Structure 1
């Protein structure tokens, strides 16, 4: 009896010791997990960056920017957008929410509001006030974004102790990346009151922080009214076409599109600070402001993860003006490579090498200039959307004797006047069929879809149908959607030189995706990844909830 009792007691002691040790081990593992998260996550979006800019300019990059990310981190070579349209607002939103316009609601940079009967901007918010400017450019917020970002989830996870700051020349690049709960989003007012201030809105704060006011007062932006010449000997730019050609925009005050571009002389006729935003110096200014934000906001200074989002917008503006084959674009990326190196060096010093994590991607790609493709016997074209809308309304008037039944054609979508259709007892489905048949008569239009069809697309639908399905928001999108043939975009005085973007073709969907830093493996893959995989991957790395509407998958082969 005594022997049995001793055996039982010894067994209980051993089991208790094991459980206690297991609890200690669990606590140790938990502590290790908490402290293993990066102190700072930096999400970089390079506006309008095609994937082939990485490979085309690779040999000209230094070791500390793009190459550092590739050599020390992970390169997803087959990364794509998985929805239409490929534009700045939807692109940034999808990168950081892990979902598509169908769920996050940002269906374009602007769209036609069915209740207001006018176009609305994706970040407009008249309930807030501007900070740092007298213009309405500060009346912006993420209120129209329906989903959370991974930065929002990090704020919730850390009981709002982890900071989030968003920075971009473009308001939508700063606001939609940072999310709803961000401490701040800052964008550059280059287009309105002429002061060139970094601004924000009362959505985030009552007044600009002292460090932002001090940055603005120094007039840093004015330093970039200088001559934009090539960084290196212009004869070394072998990866681009000729300097002066008919495919590029000629600024007011210039006789041709060739280097050098004297921004100080050009500013009066070209919108003041606008010429800086449309040059690589806009990216330099973005880095200037970002480095000040890291220092002033003490980002990455403790073990609670902060999130910094940086969108380099001037690449997009240069691309729109000069096109992918221009020396201007090549020079802009060689200069951006130096900006990335400057940013990474600052992070090494202020946060600590190996203590932060970075990803870099783009919000969309871009096609070559149509006239350049045509000169090289590749099918392309420009399509006059305004003329098309007039034609559609003329057809509808001939059919129903009611004027202006089609209200808008924004984002390759036709918005119809449902009120007029009800007042005149017009069958909606019949009218949609009339419009669809009319659209299919245009040579450059490839396909036409009625909204009711898109809502019923099965997952087994064709590739383009799935892209349209994911980009379609039932409440906000139009009644009819259409797509163009490859290498076709809208005709306007702005688009007859340079490039544009919007489609589901590879030139618009294939963009870089690079990871490097704490918790990231070194390697590369040709496996297809989607833009919506980024946010859940970062959430998995941080051990936090995925963004609430995320449809992407964590890229487990990226995480160490």
Structure 2
């Protein structure tokens, strides 16, 4: 069942940040909308830790709570998820299908911000860096179209988070590079430097901090130590889950990293530092109209990939991200800015299969992707009579396969490509750990039912919403939800989250403002609903069609404005 709720956000009274209750009648628009994304903050993590939150997340959980928000798409990765949050469109419209892909027209591996148009202020990237790969407009773009004088800023621990949430026309999109400080993008080097200028002071202070040894990662919440354990890994190895963590494993064939790394929580800390600095120095929320600040907190994803979601590392991270969100809300409260705060996640994630297996999930394990690729190439050769291996992973993603010719280029013979893809998909379904396989020809013509509740959407429809021609693979695979298509590298990469299962798609969606009356809303909604909901609160209209719908946050008797709905 799908039950979409439509009502006007315009009736929300956003009182000043004080203890006074919000006015019940229609009030002014918020002066500042703060859109927070916590990378890999699944609904499971939110629910499991909800009783332990004491700061910012505890506050937001007393607003309007959708505990069952869903990313409708099947490929659940950071860049794709942030594009959905910002635009209200699915990846089959945004063109941002994953973090990276094989550009079949250009014959090149492409990262999602390698747009070939813009450049960074500090980083040197051969293929450029900017939002040019994003094919749709965003919440910030809608605000700029309606009111160019109002400001749009985004700041995050990852470039793909900041750039996608900032959209095409931000006043600044900033990301922490982990080495020098924050970076930004522009049409040329001079403009990129100008855009970076608001964070010159932050970067100067960061330079001093980064010149010193990195801070130690010790327990913020001592009770998390109860989760310490030694976990057996394949090949007779083991992983000691504890803090401070052991040095990270090295990538096979590469030398180990030199020196201790920054703890993941450092990324969230400096991101919130920068967000507060922008609020203060740019005087966000203190002019006519509404300003927008998007904040991407990336450390939860770093912890999940490196250590899993059920160990002492993630327990500690939940305490720390709660504090950082609290620090941001406190600054808004001190300044008494009438603000609307929304929080969600770009995707979810699960725990490492070794710990799951120890807890009774017998099917949990890992897939040998090299052996799988060898098997699928052999099957394709046998089925079609070709004399070369026709399959390569799209970038390094083993669940998206591209059909190539003997020279490694995208195969130009469409009929032969379709035969190879069909044989590959059929063979993949016989392999252990593979739960689904689809060809590009199947997904290109599939039309997902827009009326379907996101929790009940067929898996093939989820994958179709992640398909974009010339960027998606010729064969898309879905692994069993309890299988990881990667070897374990503790402290570096232990688990992934790019599949269509619900623990990868299901995330919380929270809306809060001072004086809000707490409501728990259990029925499923889409993450694509966040942008049109915030647009209604800001009194701006999407300039393009949207896949999401405006959610009711105000009085039941009011109505959300009509939205240009996508026909996709």
TM class, shorter-length: 0.7 to 0.9
Q: For residue 528 of structure 2, what is the aligned residue in structure 1?
A: 532
Among 320, 344, 349, the residue aligned to 1:366: 349
**Deviations 1:286-314 (CA, angstroms, capped at 9, x unpaired):** 11121112112221111221110100001
Instruction: Write out aligned runs for 1:375-390 (5 A).
Output: 375-378=358-361, 379-390=363-374
Measure, in 2, the Cα distance between the counterparts of 1:51 and 1:402: 47
Measure, in 2, the Cα distance between the counterparts of 1:425 and 1:305: 50
Q: For residue 19 of structure 1, what is the aligned residue in structure 2?
A: none
Q: For residue 509 of structure 2, what is the aligned residue in structure 1?
A: 513
**Deviations 1:109-136 (CA, angstroms, capped at 9, x unpaired):** 0011102222200001343333134x43
Measure, in 2, the Cα distance between the counterparts of 1:552 and 1:79: 12
- Scaled by the length of structure 1, the TM-score of the pair is 0.83
The Cα shift of 1:393 comes to 2.6
Q: For residue 289 of structure 2, what is the aligned residue in structure 1?
A: 304
Measure, in 1, the Cα distance between the counterparts of 2:398 and 2:27: 45
The Cα shift of 1:261 comes to 4.6
CA 1:484–1:255: 2 relative to 1, 3 Å: closer
Q: For residue 441 of structure 2, what is the aligned residue in structure 1?
A: 452
Assess if the C-alpha contact under 8 Å between 1:79 and 1:529 holds in 2: yes
Q: For residue 242 of structure 1, what is the aligned residue in structure 2?
A: 228
Among 96, 110, 114, the residue aligned to 1:106: 96
Among 150, 173, 181, the residue aligned to 1:185: 173
Among 93, 104, 120, the residue aligned to 2:110: 120
Among 36, 61, 79, the residue aligned to 2:53: 61
CA 1:559–1:283: 2 relative to 1, 3 Å: farther
The Cα shift of 1:107 comes to 0.4
Bigger helix fraction: 1
Assess if the C-alpha contact under 8 Å between 2:241 and 2:311 holds in 1: no
Measure, in 2, the Cα distance between the counterparts of 1:506 and 1:299: 37
The Cα shift of 1:403 comes to 1.2
The Cα shift of 1:519 comes to 9.4
Q: Establish whether residue 215 from structure 1 lines up as the match of residue 215 from structure 2.
A: no
Measure, in 2, the Cα distance between the counterparts of 1:177 and 1:559: 29
CA 1:117–1:558: 2 relative to 1, 3 Å: farther
Assess if the C-alpha contact under 8 Å between 2:156 and 2:162 holds in 1: yes
**Deviations 1:376-404 (CA, angstroms, capped at 9, x unpaired):** 23122222333322333333344423313
Among 459, 462, 474, the residue aligned to 2:469: 474
Among 21, 32, 49, the residue aligned to 2:41: 49
Q: For residue 290 of structure 1, what is the aligned residue in structure 2?
A: 275
The Cα shift of 1:224 comes to 7.4
The Cα shift of 1:38 comes to 0.8
Using the TM superposition, name which of 109-118 and 483-492 deviates more: 483-492
Among 317, 321, 326, the residue aligned to 1:336: 321
CA 1:454–1:127: 2 relative to 1, 3 Å: closer
CA 1:401–1:255: 2 relative to 1, 3 Å: closer
Measure, in 2, the Cα distance between the counterparts of 1:381 and 1:243: 18
CA 1:148–1:216: 2 relative to 1, 3 Å: same
Q: Secondary structure at the match of 1:315?
A: helix
CA 1:514–1:424: 2 relative to 1, 3 Å: closer
**Deviations 1:323-344 (CA, angstroms, capped at 9, x unpaired):** 1111111111101111111101
Measure, in 2, the Cα distance between the counterparts of 1:359 and 1:453: 36
Assess if the C-alpha contact under 8 Å between 1:227 and 1:262 holds in 2: no
Q: For residue 136 of structure 1, what is the aligned residue in structure 2?
A: 125
Assess if the C-alpha contact under 8 Å between 1:87 and 1:502 holds in 2: yes
Assess if the C-alpha contact under 8 Å between 1:247 and 1:323 holds in 2: no
Aligned length: 507
Q: Secondary structure at the match of 2:264?
A: coil
Structure 1, gaps ≥5 residues long? 1-31, 249-253
Measure, in 1, the Cα distance between the counterparts of 2:80 and 2:301: 15
Assess if the C-alpha contact under 8 Å between 1:46 and 1:360 holds in 2: yes
Measure, in 2, the Cα distance between the counterparts of 1:486 and 1:529: 22
Instruction: Write out aligned runs for 1:428-507 (5 A).
Output: 428-459=417-448, 463-494=458-489, 498-507=494-503
Assess if the C-alpha contact under 8 Å between 2:529 and 2:549 holds in 1: yes
The Cα shift of 1:321 comes to 1.0
**Deviations 1:75-115 (CA, angstroms, capped at 9, x unpaired):** 01111111110110110000110011100000000011102
**Deviations 1:32-57 (CA, angstroms, capped at 9, x unpaired):** 99981111111100011121322322
Q: For residue 309 of structure 2, what is the aligned residue in structure 1?
A: 324
Assess if the C-alpha contact under 8 Å between 2:348 and 2:505 holds in 1: yes
Among 77, 92, 100, the residue aligned to 2:82: 92
Measure, in 1, the Cα distance between the counterparts of 2:290 and 2:368: 48
